[in-house]
C-alpha cells in the first residue's frame, strides 16, 4: 500500500493503472476509521481492480463553533487498518494541497441540501459537495462508495454527479451498526460511558416510527412529534425527526411508497445522525 500526499504523484500512478486497463474504486473519508468505513472498502474491492481511499479532514464543511480542530485524527491507526484490508493507495493531502490560495469556486447543490442537516449546519453541504467534486476530479474513479448513514450527504452527491455529468458511478452501502443498533460513526468516540448507553435509543425511535408508518393508523406529523418527544424524554436534544420522500427529501405524504426517516439529535455535546428506509405497499 502506498501513502501519497501530492496530487501530481497520485495522478501519475492512476494514469499507469488506466493504461493497464484496470478499474479504479474510490472511498473518500475523513479518517478515524471504523468497521463502517472498512465495509465501504471491502465493497469497493469486490467491484474494482484498484482501490483508493482518501483521508482528509475537510475544513470547509465545518461551521463556526463546530469540531474541526477537535475532530479525531488517527492517521497511523487508519493506515494500518487499510493495509490489512488490501487498499492500494491512501491519499492524504494537506489542506494547502486541496485548496489553493484565494480559491474562487465552490459547488452548491440546491433543494436537497437545504433542509434537515443543511438547515442546522449552514454551508455544510457546500463544503461537502466542493471537496467531493475536487476529489473526483483528482482521482477520476470509475466508482465511488458512500455509506447510507449520511443519507442526506449521499443524496447531495448523487444530485451533483447527475447535474454535472460526472463520469463516476455512485455506490451506496448500507449503514453498519453496533450490536445494540447504534450506527457506527467517528463521533461516537466523543460519547461518555453513560451517553453511549443512551445513544441506541436514537435507532429505537426510528424503528418505532417505521412500524407506525407501516401500520398506517397515525399521521406522519404525529409520528414525528411522538418520537421527538420520546428522544427529549430520554435526554436527547432533538434537532429534527423527519419523515421524507426518499428521492428528494421533501416531506412525505400518505400515498408515498419510498420513504426515509431522518433524525439528528445531540446527547451531551455530541450530535448524532441516523436514518431508516421504509418501503410501503399501497
> Which residue stretches of the chain have pLDDT < 50?
none
| Degrees, nearest 5: CA angle 89-93-99 | 140
Reading the block at residue 156, the C-alpha cell is: 447531495
Residue 144 is predicted with a pLDDT of 98
User: What torsion do the CA atoms of 189, 233, 230, 117 make, to the nearest 10 degrees?
Assistant: -50
Known catalytic residues are 37
What's the gap between Cα 221 and its chain centre? 26
Residue 86 is predicted with a pLDDT of 97
Residue 85 is predicted with a pLDDT of 97
Residue 148 is predicted with a pLDDT of 97
* Alpha-carbon Rg for the chain in angstroms: 19
Q: What is the number of other CB atoms lying within 10 angstroms of the CB of residue 131? A: 22
Domains of the chain: 2-173 (3.40.50.620), 186-276 (3.30.1300.10)
Amino acid at each position: 500500500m502506498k501513502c501519497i500526499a501530492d496530487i501530481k504523484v497520485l495522478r501519475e500512478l492512476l494514469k499507469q493503472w488506466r493504461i493497464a486497463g484496470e478499474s479504479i474504486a474510490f472511498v473518500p473519508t475523513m479518517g478515524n476509521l471504523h468497521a463502517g468505513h472498512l465495509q465501504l472498502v471491502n465493497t469497493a474491492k469486490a467491484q474494482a481492480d484498484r482501490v483508493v481511499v482518501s483521508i482528509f479532514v475537510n475544513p470547509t464543511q465545518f461551521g463556526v463553533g463546530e469540531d474541526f480542530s477537535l475532530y479525531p485524527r488517527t492517521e497511523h491507526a487508519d493506515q494500518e487498518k487499510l493495509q490489512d484490508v488490501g487498499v492500494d493507495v491512501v491519499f492524504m493531502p494537506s489542506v494547502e494541497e486541496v485548496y489553493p490560495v484565494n480559491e474562487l469556486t465552490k459547488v452548491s447543490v440546491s433543494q436537497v441540501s437545504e433542509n434537515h442537516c443543511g438547515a442546522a449546519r449552514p454551508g455544510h453541504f457546500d463544503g461537502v459537495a466542493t471537496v467531493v467534486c475536487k476529489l473526483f476530479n483528482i482521482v477520476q474513479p470509475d466508482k465511488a462508495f458512500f455509506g447510507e448513514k449520511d443519507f442526506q450527504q449521499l443524496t447531495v452527491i448523487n444530485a451533483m454527479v447527475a447535474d454535472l455529468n460526472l463520469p463516476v458511478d455512485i455506490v451506496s452501502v448500507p449503514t453498519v451498526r453496533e450490536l445494540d443498533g447504534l450506527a457506527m460513526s467517528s463521533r461516537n468516540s466523543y460519547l461518555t460511558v453513560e451517553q453511549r448507553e443512551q445513544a441506541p435509543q436514537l435507532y429505537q425511535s426510528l424503528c418505532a416510527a417505521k412500524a407506525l408508518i407501516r401500520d398506517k393508523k397515525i399521521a406522519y406529523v404525529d409520528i414525528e412529534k411522538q418520537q421527538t418527544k420520546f428522544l427529549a424524554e430520554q435526554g436527547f436534544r432533538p434537532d429534527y425527526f423527519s419523515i421524507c420522500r426518499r428521492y428528494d427529501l421533501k416531506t412525505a405524504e400518505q400515498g408515498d411508497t419510498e420513504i426515509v426517516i431522518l433524525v439528528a439529535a445531540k446527547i451531551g455535546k455530541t450530535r448524532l445522525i441516523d436514518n431508516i428506509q421504509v418501503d410501503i405497499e399501497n
